Amino acid sequence: MLTAVVAAVAAVGALAQSAPAEGIDLRTSPALAPPPRGAAAKALPIILQAREVRGRPDLESIAEGDAELRRGSTVIRADRLSYEQADDLARALGHVRVSRDGNVYSGPELQLKVQRFEGFFQSPTYFLGRTGAGGHADRIEFLDDQRVVATNVTYTSCGLDGSGAPVWVLSAGSVKIDLEANEGNAHDAVLRFYGVPILAAPSLSFPLSDARKSGWLPPSIAFDSKSGLQVAVPYYWNIAPNRDATLSPSVSVRRGAGLDTEIRYLEPSYSGESNLNLLPYDGLARRSRYSLRIAHDSSVERDTLLQLRLQRVSDDDYWKDFPRDLLTSTPRLLATDLRVSRPFGDWTTYARIQRWQVLQTADPATRIEAPYE
């Protein structure tokens, strides 16, 4: 239904040049609430105002000059607006701007079924309030108030205030954005960093906010004289808000297939991570190889702190063959360190157990002794 402001003006079509109606009276609400949906949304009035409004009651209304149409959280502004009440269809031309639930779209032409939020926008720029990201597209199709499909589109969270070129930008033949699922899916996508393409994919998905999302990550490629070409494709698993894992299947031309895993956890009284790099069969060494690293911290009663640091590998030659796996300044001395500490005023007492794995060499001249245990 149209408001009395529009109905009164439309009923006297001959008075098309009448003075503009007074502004909309906005009232504060004592509590935050989501916009009405379903039947409640259908009951909301449509408010149409402009410098000039004309039309036929209950059929069509046309507004020109700083035109504005409102229904609930949807606001459309344009140089010229028409609204067909039977089809709930709004058409807007010239400096069109649409805002809904913090999302803003701007462009030259819009056609939209207001209640269902279905329609299209030609050559728009867009901004998604939830993510602080946006871009521009040749065309945007509104499937409903939560789903959007854009063609020949860019997407970035950088430089939207005009402060300069974006640091990173994703361009794609098409992007489907699902606000309810917090997910974007891009096809024929290219990711650029400072204008340099760093990733191309026929299809990829990405989260629309800072929330983590399970999925494949960009592959990593390495080469060295011993292992040859190595390719790993990590998969990120968002287990829970306080737990995640990264599983990285890998292939080495000379050594064979392997799996690297990283598991992280965070609880109120303890936290830590573990890393296991496993090569079931090394084609060069002709045996199984692995490295294990664990870091764990626990807080127990009376401010007592338990800390465990452990690093172990399968054999003495591991430090030479896989130096990137050993995050230590002493790659031939790998420590297991268990410490329990508790403060007493200005003093702290602790108990500590420390053991070492010493990676020896066949040459007696380069053998080393284990530190004190």
Question: For the chain, how big is the Rg over CA atoms in Å?
Answer: 31
pLDDT at residue 36, rounded to an integer: 61
The predicted model gives 351-360 an average pLDDT of 94
**DSSP state for residue 114 in the 8-state scheme:** T
More confident: 247 or 219: 247
Task: Determine how many CB atoms are found less than 10 A away from the CB of residue 59.
Answer: 11
Q: Where are the beta strands (DSSP E) in 179-286?
A: 183-193, 196-207, 215-216, 220-224, 228-232, 235-240, 243-252, 256-266, 270-282
Give the Cα separation of 329 and 319 in Å (integer): 11
Q: Which residues contact 140 (CB under 8 A, 6 or more apart)?
A: 105, 120, 121, 124, 126, 148, 149, 150
Is the pTM higher than 0.75? The answer reads no
Q: Is pLDDT at 232 greater than 60 in this prediction?
A: yes
- CA atoms within 13 Å, Cβ hemisphere of 320: 8
The predicted model gives 200-204 an average pLDDT of 84
Structure tokens at 147: 């789903």
Let me know: does 329 contact 349? Beta carbons within 8 Å.
no
More confident: 25 or 134: 134
Chain segment 135-174, per-residue pLDDT in tens: 899 999 999 888 989 999 998 877 654 556 778 888 999 9
Let me know: does 205 contact 217? Beta carbons within 8 Å.
no
